[in-house]
Amino acid sequence: MMPDRDEARGLVVVAEDESAIADVERMYLQDAGFRTLLARDGYDALAQIRRSSPVAAVLDIGLPGLDGLEILRTLRREDDWTPVVLVTARDGEVDRILGIELGADDYLTKPFSGRELAARVRGLVRRTGVRAGSIITAGPVSIDRDRRVVTVDTRPVTLTTTEFDLLAHLASEPGRVFERSQLLSAVWGVADFSGTRTVDVHIAQLRAKLGPTVAVRTVRGVGYAFDAEPPR
């Protein structure tokens, strides 16, 4: 299957110090149409991301020199919102939540298939480049899906790729209650995923960034809804 033209121009930085895993990641990403740059340690990965402006980065948390979380923390502190997929050998919720809080867009635990990694990266890049051609306005919030810009009371709000897509999906139908599984499917592209805590953490991040005038309502035992009217 030939990659589409847009994907063929995409560059992904892959930061992985285990050669066998790095080779698999690179192979599947290239099969999906991406060009790749490999980094074996954290300092090299950070330098490559700064220099090459990739469409996405795949960062192993356990990198030598500078770990994946520290790279992510540095990028976000520099206002670099390159979509990031974190990879770890540790199946710990603490790592996952910390990564999301630092601004990660997705998270994979080893072992995983190269096909799944390529699908996650492809989904991130498509969402970043999507041109919906419309603006959602609800209460104090304006969401420009074409330019991927969010403002609250004319104040610009910087969101990660995943945070933006989550907000846009919720706000596309104000008042509708979305189940966590529905949000995982629509935003993350995951049809059956037990880690619904991922949604909760991203919602918490959204609320913190959007401020108290924006209502992302929790429906206990079900999911979340975006209310057009701000809370009183």
The pLDDT value recorded for residue 132 is 41
* pLDDT of the residue at 5: 37
**What's the predicted TM-score (pTM) here?**
0.64
Residue 108 in contact with residue 28, Cβ under 8 Å?
Answer: no
pLDDT recorded at residue 197: 82
191: β partners: none
Question: Sorting pLDDT into bands at 50, 70 and 90, what band is 166?
Answer: very high
Amino acid making up residue 26:
R
Between CA 91 and CA 98, with CA 95 as vertex, the angle to 5 degrees is 155
Confidence of residue 192 (pLDDT cuts 50, 70, 90): low
Q: Is the pLDDT of residue 232 over 50?
A: yes
- Using CA atoms, how far apart are residues 13 and 47, in angstroms rounded to an integer? 10
If one counts every other C-beta atom within 10 angstroms of the C-beta of residue 28, the result is 19
Per-residue pLDDT tens over the stretch 32-68: 988 898 998 999 999 989 888 888 999 999 899 999 9
Contact 12, 29 (CB under 8 A): yes
Per-residue pLDDT of 114-143, as tens digits, reads 999 999 898 888 776 544 446 777 778 888
Axis-axis angle for helices 68-77, 42-52 (nearest 10)? 30
Query: Shortest CA distance to 57 belongs to which of 1, 4, 8, 103?
Result: 103
The dihedral through the CA atoms of 147, 152, 154, 159 has a sign that is negative
> 135-227 in CATH: which number?
1.10.10.10
Q: What is the CATH number of domain 5-129?
A: 3.40.50.2300
Domain extents for the chain?
Answer: 5-129, 135-227
